[in-house]
Structure 1
Amino acid sequence: MSTLSHALTDSTTMLRRQLRHMRRYPSLTLQLIGLPVIFLLLFVYVFGGTLGNGIDGASGGRRAYVEYVTPGIVLMAMAATAQGTAVAVALDMTQGIVARFRTMAIWRPSVLTGHVIASVLQALLGIAAVTGVALLIGFRPDATPTEWLAAAGLLAGFALALTWLTVGFGLAAKTVESASNTPMFLMLLPFLGSGFVPTDTMPTWLRWFAEHQPFTPLTETLRGLLLGTPIGDSAAQAIGWCATLTITGYAWSKYLFNRTASR
């Protein structure tokens, strides 16, 4: 068997393992998908009437706000899924299963690739759930098929980036609890960007941070693709952040995994 086929076979096996875990223990998956949906309903029906009247000087109320906030909630769903990845990796590392895998004739990185692919699929499931609920409560994108495809590709790329980053958090964690807590800042970043309110309404110091963190250009690019708002240079920034986070997360995860293997 060639190295490539060996890698594909073992990665597929590890992916099946993760998917079986998701099926046997659905509570975590439901929580990761349900939390963003709850936030969507909360912000639209509790705050949307007021916030929607302040978006770009419009007076559209909840209908305007559901269109504004949905891209931010979609990215929040991805951050929530990534947090679950850190927990799953930490469980494998602390419960000894990885040590057992290392005694077997398998392609060693397949342990991580199984987690990554399963997490990306879980993130896409969460995105579909949030988008479906948003459509039911008034989200009306006017994107062309090409724009939908571009938005899907951007989301898949960002899901991959966040997943590799949180795999690193899971490998670096000493306990499962710390693996659960460390990536929580990712859930806050959509709030500290343009996900819920325009950045020009923020204080100067906070506005600078909001405009230079990864979730803001992702949010603005999604809005542009789905709703036709101006994108500017946000698309280039979003792609740059996806590439940077993917490369950084992959290199960090590979280093940590190889370091534990040499002990």
Structure 2
Amino acid sequence: MESTDTNRLRYAALELRMALEALVYERAKHYATDTSWNKLSKWQPKKLLRLLLEVDPHADKDAIISIGEPDQEGQPASIMHCLGRERVLKLEEIDSFYDRLGSYLHTPTKAQADAGAPESAGKILAKCRELAAILKEVFESQIINSDFKISSEIKCVRCGAKVYGRLPPSMEDSVATCLECQAQYRVMSLPDGQAEWQPITQPLQCSNKECMEEAWIFQQDIKPGIKWKCRKCGQQSRIILGISPVLGDE
């Protein structure tokens, strides 16, 4: 990587790019029980990590793991001992480096050539050094691929596929996405270790003005052309685009 030879620097860029892929693939192994291997077979690290983030919003977050003996059963320990920090490769870092490094591995297109000179050896070296420093932090983590999870699953009411949700240790609500149809659910932690699932939907009124029954439609389905049948009067309704006149000084 310290060479000023552009061809050797391109090889260094290739090795660093492959390191990004390897790190994301390794992390994905811990999510095999949260989705299907078919979904995890995506080879582009950006797409794969985005998939992991749909399952677990903390998939690219750093973690510090500590232990301690509680002073009283059921209460947090007053003295904690740090076991180490895990430095995780983040989505924005992959976005910043993966395609950029890839651009060094191809002959410039005519449009790129017309736009100016190709990247100099100095620019390639600077980018490689920047990524190498990040990878060094990741590989020197005291803890690698930690995975403490409380998970829950349901059958998607929209397509029937299994939907997996992870509950954060903070007991806050989280959002789970069906990886087959993209339907979203709010997952709420209950005190007894159980979880309550609620579809994230929007109420839409029946087009029959004498009925006005509400139907709850998944938010990602609310777009022109979508149809539904009223469960009360049987009227079919659909969403359309419309144009109305502007009145007065509106």
TM-score (norm 1): 0.25
* Rg comparison, structure with higher value: 2
